[in-house]
């Protein structure tokens, strides 16, 4: 028998993917297989190492995908094959997470394991609704109570006489369906009918919703609002703090789940800005970039063999810059070979990428499209001059054709090949079918083409029709044209072809939606 693996019982936090701990993320990134449930943010699965297996064992109120006993045995079976197993659980695994049962069976089979605590929803979800569970003047103690049982079971597991007034704040986990019974019991055992109550649904996620009332009227409010689980119930005077302290709802992109289709290597800045503004990003990279091969690589080497002859070098993308320097290193060259060349960049991101390599590229006009090069340098471009265009294999032909029309000798050097990732994502399929992706961002024509192709692979016969109710946000007119030709309706277009401008446009879209509503 081979070496036994190890199991990490990891708390994923309440929902916001950034609330996982550093250790939890470290475990997730090294797992050979991840066993997860629906309360763990599915975007965390994007952090898994390449080739890792994922197994969904989540439970819903209407059905159980896998019994707890079977989950326990699954962890054992996987570890016995020598795999590093991550059991990813929503919130903290020790608070109603049944981690004790999982750990007990692992110990019985001699399988090493670690319990990695997570941020519990009992505290973090109220915090995202502006409710601190303790307060110097209102509550100095806290009880966390299960609410996800039938009334008979609740009476067996909860000593109502002691619990009702034991602490200033009571937090019930998963008790929405029993809110009427819980309220009646608390009132009958001495809590004032006017005690404030808050239910926070899907706290820290894009669907976060808060309903407040009192013990005497909260059941009726839940029925009227058709308020569904999962939710955390907070009972106590601390609920009154919400009106003063609520903050998440005021974030510019609160309540919006925005799909990012850029390559994983490029997506970080867009993801960061979306999340900093209160939105929830969902990464689904549809393209990747790699070195050219075969004939394309030979042609690239030939183009770079005479760098000292070029009068101009036009960089049109960050990728073009990054791969250009990879090729220089591969060929044993450095930037001194371009001593004769004037260097220009399309777009501030490309210019900044060059600056990181110590190159101050020449200025361009504000539109940041390839056409801007002609406006900026029309007077300096002379027939007979040699131009190098380091670019991707799918770059537009407009610029080289226009330069050639003016008599310049243009060499197009393919720095990288754009390839589809071929990824599929069951969680994304579910979100798209349920209309829970509120906006899709496209940052190039290739992201449009490859995303629609990925949708077809995942079972959507008519992607454009599926996306009719989803905001389509494009970084520039070229990308927007590709999307329109594919049947998509463009609702948001960045004024400039930059990530900053795209995010600003998304914020404006959210504002308009709120005004309409």
Q: Mean pLDDT throughout 139-164? A: 85
pLDDT for 147 equals 82
* Range with the largest mean pLDDT of 67-71, 80-84, 145-149: 80-84
Q: Which of 208-222, 338-352, 433-447, 484-498 has the lowest mean pLDDT?
A: 338-352
Lowest mean pLDDT among 42-56, 89-103, 110-124: 42-56
What is the spatial distance between Cα 248 and Cα 278, in angstroms, rounded to a whole number? 7
DSSP element (H, E) containing 242 = helix 242-245
Q: Is the pTM value of this prediction over 0.75? A: yes
Catalytic (active-site) positions: 37, 59
Which residue would you say has higher pLDDT here, 80 or 265?
80
Quickly list DSSP for 144-203: EEE--S-HHHHHHH--HHHHTTTSSEEEEES-GGGHHHHHHHHHHTT--TT-EEEEEETT
Q: What angle do CA 38, 86, 106 make, to 5 degrees?
A: 110
Residues 168-191 as b/e (b if ≥16 CB within 10 A, e otherwise) read bbbbbbbbbbbbebbbebbbeeeb
Give the C-alpha distances (Å, rounded to integers) separating 318 from 190, 202, 321, 348, 446: 65, 38, 5, 10, 15
In this prediction, residue 153 carries a pLDDT of 74
Question: Alpha-carbon distance 96 to 325, whole Å?
Answer: 52
**Of residues 23 and 262, more confidently modeled:** 23
Q: How high is the pLDDT of residue 396?
A: 83
The per-residue pLDDT for 34 is 96
**Contact, 145 vs 119, CB < 8 A?**
no
Please give the residue that has the higher pLDDT: either 280 or 380. 280
State the DSSP code for 49: P
Contact between 39 and 48 (Cβ < 8 Å): no
Of residues 498 and 413, more confidence is placed in: 413
What lies within 8 Å, CB to CB, of 244 at 6+ separation is 130
DSSP bridge pairs for 257: 280
Give the pLDDT confidence of 310-368 residue by residue, as tens digits: 999 999 889 999 999 999 999 999 999 999 999 998 888 889 999 999 999 986 654 54
SS3 readout for 396-433: CCHHHHHHHHCCCEEEEEEEEEEEECCCCCHHHHHHHH
- pLDDT averaged over every residue in the chain: 91
Coil vs helix vs strand at 230: coil
Q: For position 93, what pLDDT does the model report?
A: 94
pLDDT digits (tens, 9 = 90+) for 295-305: 999 999 999 99
pLDDT, position 394? 87
Crossing angle, helix 294-304 and helix 318-331, to 10 degrees? Answer: 80
User: β-strands 386-392, 209-214: how paired?
Assistant: unpaired
Q: Distance between CA atoms of 80 and 126, rounded to whole angstroms?
A: 40
> Cβ–Cβ contacts within 10 Å for residue 441, how many?
28
Percentage of residues of the chain with pLDDT beyond 70? 95
| Residue 478 pLDDT > 50 | yes
The answer on pLDDT for 439 being more than 90 is yes
Token pair for residue 408? 């310049």
Identify the weakest region by mean pLDDT among 164-178, 360-374, 435-449.
360-374
Strand pairing class (59-60; 63-64): antiparallel
pLDDT above 50 for 433: yes
- What is the CA angle 289-428-50, rounded to 5? 45
Record the tokens describing residue 274, joined without a space: 């979306």
Question: What is the DSSP track for 437-483?
Answer: --EEEE-SHHHHHHHHHHHHHTT-S-HHHHGGGSEEEESSHHHHHHH
Residue 201 has pLDDT above 90, yes or no: yes
What pLDDT shows up at residue 261? Answer: 95
pLDDT of residue 517: 52
**Residue 56 β-bridge partners:** 36
Q: E strand or H helix at 10, and its extent?
A: strand 6-11
Instruction: Tell me the C-alpha distance between 288 and 404, whole Å.
Output: 30
What DSSP state is assigned to residue 310?
Answer: -
The pLDDT value recorded for residue 476 is 87
104 has pLDDT over 90: yes
Check whether 170 has a pLDDT greater than 90: yes
Q: Using a CB cutoff of 8 Å and minimum separation of 24, what contacts does 132-136 make?
A: 132/238, 132/241, 132/245, 133/169, 133/171, 133/234, 133/238, 134/168, 134/169, 134/238, 135/237, 135/238, 135/241
From first CA to last CA, the distance across the chain in angstroms is 63
Euclidean distance between CA atoms 12 and 28, whole angstroms? 10
Residue 516: is its pLDDT beyond 90?
A: no
Q: What is the mean pLDDT of residues 11-32?
A: 95
Does the pLDDT of residue 1 top 60, yes or no?
Answer: no
Per-residue confidence (pLDDT) for residue 366, from 0 to 100: 45
Better pLDDT: 482 or 423: 482
| 427 vs 482: which has the higher pLDDT | 482
């Amino acid at each position: 028998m081979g070496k036994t693996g190890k199991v990490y019982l990891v708390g994923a936090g309440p929902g916001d993917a950034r609330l996982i701990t550093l250790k939890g993320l470290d475990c997730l990134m090294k797992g050979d297989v991840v066993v997860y449930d629906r309360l763990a943010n599915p975007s965390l699965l994007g952090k898994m190492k390449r080739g890792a297996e994922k197994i969904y064992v989540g439970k819903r109120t209407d059905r159980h995908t896998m019994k707890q006993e079977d989950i326990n045995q699954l962890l054992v079976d996987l570890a016995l094959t020598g795999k590093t197993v991550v059991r990813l659980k929503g919130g903290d695994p020790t608070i109603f997470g049944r981690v004790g049962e999982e750990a007990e069976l692992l110990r019985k089979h001699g399988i090493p394991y670690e319990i990695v605590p997570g941020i519990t929803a009992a505290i973090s979800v109220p915090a995202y609704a502006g409710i601190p569970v303790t307060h110097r003047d209102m509550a100095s103690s806290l009880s966390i109570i299960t609410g996800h049982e039938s009334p008979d079971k609740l009476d067996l597991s909860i000593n109502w006489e002691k619990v009702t007034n034991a602490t200033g704040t009571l937090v019930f986990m998963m008790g929405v369906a029993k809110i009427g019974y819980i309220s009646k019991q608390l009132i009958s055992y001495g809590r004032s009918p006017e005690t404030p109550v808050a239910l926070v649904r899907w706290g820290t996620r894009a669907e976060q919703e808060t309903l407040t009332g009192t013990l005497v009227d909260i059941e009726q409010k839940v029925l009227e609002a058709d308020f569904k689980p999962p939710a955390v119930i907070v009972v106590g005077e601390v609920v009154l703090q919400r009106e003063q302290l609520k903050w998440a709802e005021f974030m510019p992109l609160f309540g919006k789940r925005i799909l990012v289709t850029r390559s994983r290597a490029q997506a970080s800045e867009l993801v960061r800005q979306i999340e900093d503004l209160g939105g929830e990003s969902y990464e689904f990279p549809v393209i990747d970039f790699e070195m050219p091969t075969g004939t394309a690589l030979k042609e690239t080497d030939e183009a770079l063999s005479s760098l000292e002859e070029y009068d101009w070098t036009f960089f049109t993308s960050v990728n073009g810059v990054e791969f250009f320097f990879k090729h220089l290193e591969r060929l044993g060259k450095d930037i001194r070979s371009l001593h004769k060349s004037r260097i220009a960049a399309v777009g501030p991101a490309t210019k900044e990428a060059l600056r990181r390599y110590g190159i101050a590229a020449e200025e361009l006009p504000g539109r940041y499209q390839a056409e801007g090069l002609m406006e900026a340098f029309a007077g300096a471009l002379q027939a007979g001059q040699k131009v190098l265009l380091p670019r991707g294999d799918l770059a537009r032909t407009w610029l080289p054709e226009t330069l050639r029309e003016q008599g310049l000798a243009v060499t197009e050097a393919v720095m990288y090949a754009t390839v589809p990732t071929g990824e599929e994502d069951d969680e994304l399929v579910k979100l798209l079918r349920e209309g829970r992706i509120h906006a899709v961002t496209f940052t190039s024509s290739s992201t449009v083409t490859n995303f629609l192709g990925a949708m077809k692979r995942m079972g959507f016969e008519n992607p454009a029709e599926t996306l009719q109710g989803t905001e389509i946000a494009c970084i520039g007119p070229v990308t927007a044209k590709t999307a329109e030709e594919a049947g998509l309706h463009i609702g948001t277009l960045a004024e400039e072809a930059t990530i900053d401008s795209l995010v600003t446009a998304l914020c404006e879209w959210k504002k308009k939606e709120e005004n309409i509503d």
